[in-house]
Amino acid sequence: MIKKILIANRGEIALRVLRTCKELGIQTVAVHSTADAHAMHVRLADESVCIGPPPACDSYMNMNQIVEACEISGANAVHPGYGFLSENAQFADVLENNGMIFIGPTAAHIRIMGDKIEAKKTAQQLGIPIVPGSQEKIKDSIEAETIANKIGFPVIIKAAAGGGGRGMKIVRSAEELPLALSVTSSEAKSNFGDDAIYIEKYLETPRHIEVQVIGDGRGNTLHLGERDCSLQRRHQKIWEEANSPGLNPEERQTICDIASKACAQLKYRGAGTFEFLYEKGNFYFIEMNTRLQVEHPITEAISGIDIVQEQIRIASGYGLSLSQEKVRFSGHAIECRINAEDPVTFLPSPGLITHFHTPGGLGVRIDSNVYSGYRIPPYYDSLIGKLIIHGRDRRECMMRLKRSLSEFVVDGINTTLPLFQHLVNHQDIINGHYNIHWLEKYLSEKP
């Protein structure tokens, strides 16, 4: 039985998890680096423990410090949020070995899906369509060229242990392969501690479609619909929609059923997301994220289900709160990720927020940990908040988003709000006609 949860994260996701814990009557423990001593989740938690200096490797990524914080506070469960240690199988093992509950999947599932090559093999075994490419880690440039010629250029080189858009290189000819292989391998080693890489066919105009699943670890599962995350910059999502404006009802049902069935066959535990590329009526599995997603609020908006609450229920041994037949979807939702970045150069913009005013009204949700007088530290991800809009249909949702963006005020630092104010008025976005390459092209052509 979970009595007290330590939230092993920071920023808006730590605050978001804390809110659900409060609604469930569960005691909370916030951990923080010295740079986050005045963060909102630290202020609102029942207890807080400082776990080290600003660098993440010395604080939020330090397993020993987090375990010690659990022992000091008496927390018997840990919610990892996303990022940091959320998909670290060793962390899940360490917690279990110390008698604590990891609010997430099993370490075995994290390992399977954390290795992108192993994940593709597993997907194939589960009957999920995959992107054509290598079945094993690439040994050398000769093997890479053979595979690339077989599936056809362009191809994309990826880190086997990669994620978050890092460790990827697009290759359009055999001449570019050797350098791309070398660079990607080096980046993989630097970012993930593993230089293994693999090759996939590079799709020219796909959409990025993902399906939210939840399993109880015993084969009972449900899906909460799909999300479209195609508006990306350097493989980083900035705008997400539920449902996708690019799918018809039959395609939507097909891919959701495939993901739910796979989740059941895996006997997956907790929340997870199957991610696909979709092009010309075909879906191709790319990875499974074994954690809560940044964009989960839009799924909550259309389903009315608190995904964090489901995670905690399952970790407590209660199982799912409802069956698939009782899930009801309503309306349309869009999320914009507001970053502390220059809207043109995208350079980070840490500093003091002198004024912070958020929009409100029906169907408007803000997930943010910042406030007027808060200083954005330079050590972490630049996300400062998420604007989540829900409407009865996509048109109403877009109009509500446009109104909300005009009300949002952040003074003292640069943010990406002006970018969204442009995007919401672009005809392609209004019509839902975009793919994963659309934003890069738009930014390169924008004066």
- The catalytic residues are 291
Three-class DSSP labels, the chain: CCCEEEECCCHHHHHHHHHHHHHHCCEEEEEEEHHHCCCHHHHHCCEEEEEECCCHHHCCCCHHHHHHHHHHHCCCEEECCCCCCCCCHHHHHHHHHCCCEECCCCHHHHHHHHCHHHHHHHHHHCCCCECCECCCCCCCHHHHHHHHHHHCCCEEEEEEEEECCEEEEEECCHHHHHHHHHHHHHHHHHHHCCCCEEEEECCCCCEEEEEEEEEECCCCEEEEEEEEEEEEECCEEEEEEECCCCCCHHHHHHHHHHHHHHHHHHCCEEEEEEEEEEECCEEEEEEEECCCCCCHHHHHHHHCCCHHHHHHHHHCCCCCCCCHHHCCCCCEEEEEEEECECCCCCCECCEECCEEECCCCCCEEEEECCCCCCEECCCCCCEEEEEEEEECCHHHHHHHHHHHHHHCEEECCCCCHHHHHHHCCCHHHHHCCCCCCHHHHHHHHCC
